[in-house]
Structure 1
């Protein structure tokens, strides 16, 4: 029965150039035996088995993790969901199945599965919660998709008469007779009968366009032609399976044939394998068309046999380097192609903006959850660069038919295509008319439209939202969601995490170095900043907050935070759905990649800086800031802020010339301005003479750098206190104080960066900047010293 079911599903999948899913639900060993029977029945040319279990008969087909499936395709992929069911792993497995192929899922019995807790559920049980607090809503929803979507066969193992297997669904889209029919959709291994035409005035060879399988690929390859001219950039975006990497490879080969040195990079070489395969085919084809066919170095990888480099006739080449090395642009390439760009840190991507020409290829709805850092942060920087940027998007599937039911199923099951409400539905919404509402997991589970809009906002506004986050939203006991709704549409959403209120033993282990999941702010304050009591108060961290892009700048984010503060803080007293176990929240917190704009937003919302990371976040490319907002003036949260704000002020006094020496000066100024710990000024008369002399007379900054540093910190921390001299420094003067006084940069580099005509002019500007600081902080002695120069 299993063999016949597998053969029928495979025949129909091949006939339609689609994919099918086989679900073997029940005992794990029985499921593995069924998977063996299915594989042997269809006799695939390529198989991958993803499981935590050892000793498979097909052990050579078992990747160490689903990460190894990214950028690769298989005819059959088996995913064992028994010991742990990870949504990210499901997405990667689906993405690896080629047209005409099968995805085989081994699951517990579908009726019982939502109530079963596994290793992934354990990762959601963050302290002080236990695994018994984790719910099964995500799996309940997932099981519903298995039983309702076309193209999915479900076999209930051992539940039929006499203990036989029972076919709950055969998963066939057409009739069984149609399943054996001749294919109606061309297999992807073959080229179209009539390949797309080369566009008029194309500069790449005709063979490059003959290698394209869709009009989308033709448009992409044509866009890549611009890389032959310095000063051009291309952004190619697509969902998986659209031929984005193939188009990049065709373009790389064509550029190499013209004599260009093309540098290709990706998170790993396997991610760029398709680029190299297509480039190699084009270069080899050009040689076979030649008169002698022996070439001049030709399609040999290179003289050393390096499989990461292809040499083309005429001196061009295509070569691969890992991202960190490629970002330095060794050997001055003519063009750079960055594949799976969304999986790389933004800071690393910025290095490629120094290339003569560059293309960024990225997945839009990535199974691995990457993509938003590129779309949100990096594309803005690319637009601001001197490059002439061309955008191209590929929508037509290459590896399977456009109406593949498995793609539609995966998109729904994992909300890969979740999007906010369309602009027209929310345009003109007024912030005062929006309704604040809780988004409980049960409400989200019961209302698919509400779930898609809320999750779509989180995906659209954050640089790293992944399928696992959908399970967290529905099942994690420490999370809560709140939203603003206008005209029935979600226009702003916040994802909140309960943190802290940990017992003494857990706090001790954290202090001694043990990582405690789901308590980001207490963990940093305890393990890094050495405060063993930091995890005792109860905090509510804003994990993510998003406003519909059509309504940004209208105050919706601020209104949403105000409502959250009212509900969970002293105004509301307690969370109304069990948040923080009914305890009053002692403080609110947030951690994020610090930018000047975000620092201003959170400071205006009442949050204050307690930490700035010494290293950059891998995903955002920014230094991460942690900020707190206490709920009371003299409670545990207030005391936590007081001691960590003072510690942050003291760390920065010295750290800015060390670990933070390269932090953006606007980020430094913004972080200090949001620090509530005032800077005590206690200078000696000698130090005041140096400061006053440098400000009003012939004195030099170098005579008392510590005094200048204290005054600079005080001025930045208290820069908007409302006093008469509180806003005396303009933006350039603040940057001057940060770069020269606090970060200790050389005069020449500071003058050059800040646009002073000379180092002497930069020195005079620093003296001028300290004049209002002398008036603001100066002692009676300092003011008398100042009069000596003013009177002269």
Structure 2
């Protein structure tokens, strides 16, 4: 420890006086960084600290992947151990829980070595953990560059003196509540509007960035209404996310989990939904149909469904309730407007990324853009990432790291007068070695990524799928001001002629508009999901364009097999797409039946093939009457194993599937 640390408690008190927060980077060996963090916490005498990542023995902590515990809570200090992985979503969410006067202590390797450090978070972006070894992180290189350029960041490197603490100059931060419990005019206005909406049964959407007092305002709203005799229910993704609202309500405020609320809705005059963006859109819409609701959500969220709340839910809410009200708060309540930590985090995580307005005219230029070009040109990075955010409702800060660091990614950008107006992000998949491909087919392995080949092999029943190579179009977007002009189709046409793989492919929520777009570009449907996505409410659709002779040969076979499965299950092609000619491959049906019986293939996906196989076989003499009845009932299109379990006296779905596997073994 250094003598200058005697200034540390006074520095923290001055931060609290001015309502500001700071980042302190502790770089060196992990044990050294942990020890210094513990000492600083002891000196500051903080009463509430969140420690994410590994910690010394006896120090309470949470894994970085459990960052959701920070949502809706407040902490005086935060220790983020980047040796356990620099998880961008975790950093953004937890830093938003840091109150005025707090310090974010970031523990990391020596800065020169950090980009090449074996960061555990990189394993989220590779198929197999060993593939993360030896990767150099562009995301961390950019991270270091930005924080080193910020004069408010404190940096303490092992073997050097503790940094000089320059006390922040400023006036007393007025974090005082008025007689309504509000901290600023925006909160007072929002409270008044929500009280009026509760009386008129008008739904309200309340959005803000972290630290604006959304949750505390919900608690104060509930208190006012409960005292007036109203029946108020609070829901959130988990009880922890509701804790802040409950803490600001002096009378008991009941919490009910969203799924429980939907299954057994209690009588309620108003339902308060905190951290709404973390709840699937179909669930939110059901709540909106049944109750008068206030939906509170973070503007730049880390909750998991991200922009789905804005892009999917809010337009649907407007259709249900045309007179709904939307409120937005941008005045900080948890810290002062002079706080330098929030704008720093916005730069580090590209939360301020937005695409520029496109020129009205000019020639289009399409080109591949490397990740190194993005690293060298932060303006271009923010413009392109801003475009990609518009393309998907589940964008999170972690997607920035994926863009910069994930192996096998490529980016095509359409420029007009040097301004990006469209982009496509692609991921290399497939061409897997045979042992892994066999394990995927049998349901024994499910490595990260490789969405198209894995799904086509395991769910689609295409045994060869993992042998082919794919470029999956993860996202494709055209700036809203340039849409409906054919730019998206021009980009797809360019990709067809500038991509090296067997297939160009895509997977998306099967909305009529998207199905029509890909069909217009002559992609072929090869699979649809059996269940709707929890956020979009749509089943997934997978479509391919063949780029090689081998792919052109096999694609009609895959389409025919898919069509046969659809026909046998009584399902139609989505979006009025033309129905391919069904093709039944008896040998593949037999293989699917065999590997379901002896391995771990999926009953629901394989049921059409199992039905065809069983109907071609003579009755199996070793099956008793009960087993025969169970098999026939399970082969009926749409049969539900949960219902079968009750009907045939099994403990549950797993027990029924295990029994069906044993029954199928009798045929081999």
Q: Which TM-score applies when normalising by structure 1?
A: 0.70
| Equivalent residue number for residue 463 of structure 1 | 393
For the residue of structure 2 that corresponds to 1:492, the secondary structure is: strand
Aligned with 1:383 (options 312, 318, 322):
318
> 1: distance between equivalents of 2:7 and 2:477?
46
Give the Å deviation of 1:679. 5.2
- Does residue 454 of structure 1 match 2:384? yes
Aligned length: 584
| Equivalent residue number for residue 534 of structure 2 | 618
- Does residue 653 of structure 1 match 2:653? no
Aligned with 1:407 (options 342, 350, 356):
342
| Equivalent residue number for residue 626 of structure 2 | none
For the residue of structure 2 that corresponds to 1:535, the secondary structure is: helix
| Equivalent residue number for residue 625 of structure 2 | none
Give the Å deviation of 1:470. 0.9
For the residue of structure 1 that corresponds to 2:302, the secondary structure is: coil
> 2: distance between equivalents of 1:671 and 1:636?
28
Kindly report the root-mean-square deviation, in angstroms, between the aligned alpha carbons of the 2 structures. Answer: 2.6
> 1: distance between equivalents of 2:554 and 2:338?
56
Show CA shifts across 1:391-417 (max 9, x none).
111000000011311101111001112
| Equivalent residue number for residue 137 of structure 1 | 138
| Equivalent residue number for residue 535 of structure 1 | 466
> 1: distance between equivalents of 2:57 and 2:139?
29
> 2: distance between equivalents of 1:329 and 1:239?
32
Show CA shifts across 1:354-386 (max 9, x none).
234222111111134543111111112111114
Give the Å deviation of 1:241. 0.7
- 1:639-650 alignment runs, 5 A limit: 639-650=553-564
- 1:280-319 alignment runs, 5 A limit: 280-281=249-250, 299=251, 301=252, 310=253, 319=254
| Equivalent residue number for residue 497 of structure 1 | 427
> 2: distance between equivalents of 1:9 and 1:426?
46
Whether the aligned pair in 2 keeps the contact of 1:603 and 1:674 (CA below 8 Å) is no
| Equivalent residue number for residue 630 of structure 1 | 546
| Equivalent residue number for residue 574 of structure 2 | 670
- Does residue 186 of structure 1 match 2:173? yes
- 1:307-346 alignment runs, 5 A limit: 310=253, 319-328=254-263, 330-346=265-281
Structure 1 residues 277, 130: closer, same or farther in 2, change over 3 A? closer
Aligned with 2:358 (options 412, 426, 448):
426
For the residue of structure 1 that corresponds to 2:203, the secondary structure is: strand
> 1: distance between equivalents of 2:20 and 2:578?
55
For the residue of structure 1 that corresponds to 2:466, the secondary structure is: coil
Which one has the largest radius of gyration? 1
| Equivalent residue number for residue 598 of structure 2 | none
Whether the aligned pair in 1 keeps the contact of 2:24 and 2:155 (CA below 8 Å) is yes
For the residue of structure 1 that corresponds to 2:367, the secondary structure is: strand
| Equivalent residue number for residue 22 of structure 1 | 24
| Equivalent residue number for residue 417 of structure 2 | 487
For the residue of structure 1 that corresponds to 2:447, the secondary structure is: coil
> 2: distance between equivalents of 1:590 and 1:128?
25
Aligned with 2:450 (options 519, 540, 546):
519
For the residue of structure 1 that corresponds to 2:375, the secondary structure is: helix
Show CA shifts across 1:700-725 (max 9, x none).
xxxxxxxxxxxxxxxxxxxxxxxxxx
Structure 1 residues 550, 125: closer, same or farther in 2, change over 3 A? same
Whether the aligned pair in 2 keeps the contact of 1:16 and 1:401 (CA below 8 Å) is yes
| Equivalent residue number for residue 497 of structure 2 | 566
Aligned with 1:166 (options 161, 169, 172):
161
Give the Å deviation of 1:60. 6.7
| Equivalent residue number for residue 770 of structure 1 | none
Show CA shifts across 1:451-506 (max 9, x none).
00111112233111112111111111211111111232211111100111111122
For the residue of structure 1 that corresponds to 2:465, the secondary structure is: coil
Aligned with 2:514 (options 589, 592, 598):
598
> 1: distance between equivalents of 2:487 and 2:63?
48
> 2: distance between equivalents of 1:129 and 1:636?
31
Structure 1 residues 43, 129: closer, same or farther in 2, change over 3 A? closer
Unaligned runs of 5+ in 2: 584-636, 640-668
| Equivalent residue number for residue 148 of structure 2 | 147
> 1: distance between equivalents of 2:57 and 2:23?
21
Give the Å deviation of 1:520. 0.5
> 2: distance between equivalents of 1:453 and 1:135?
23
> 1: distance between equivalents of 2:6 and 2:423?
48
Structure 1 residues 457, 62: closer, same or farther in 2, change over 3 A? closer
Structure 1 residues 333, 640: closer, same or farther in 2, change over 3 A? farther
Structure 1 residues 485, 37: closer, same or farther in 2, change over 3 A? same
- Does residue 239 of structure 1 match 2:171? no
Deviates more, 1:472-481 or 1:351-360: 351-360
Q: Which TM-score applies when normalising by structure 2?
A: 0.82
> 2: distance between equivalents of 1:461 and 1:61?
33
For the residue of structure 1 that corresponds to 2:463, the secondary structure is: coil
Show CA shifts across 1:665-719 (max 9, x none).
xxx55356155x2259xxxxxxxxxxxxxxxxxxxxxxxxxxxxxxxxxxxxxxx
Unaligned runs of 5+ in 1: 159-164, 196-206, 282-298, 302-309, 311-318, 569-583, 658-667, 681-741, 745-792
Structure 1 residues 67, 228: closer, same or farther in 2, change over 3 A? closer
Show CA shifts across 1:86-135 (max 9, x none).
22221122112111101101100001111122222233233699335633
> 1: distance between equivalents of 2:47 and 2:516?
57
- 1:39-188 alignment runs, 5 A limit: 39-53=41-55, 55-59=56-60, 65-126=66-127, 130-132=131-133, 134-158=135-159, 165-167=160-162, 170=164, 176=166, 178-179=167-168, 184-186=171-173, 188=175
Give the Å deviation of 1:627. 1.2
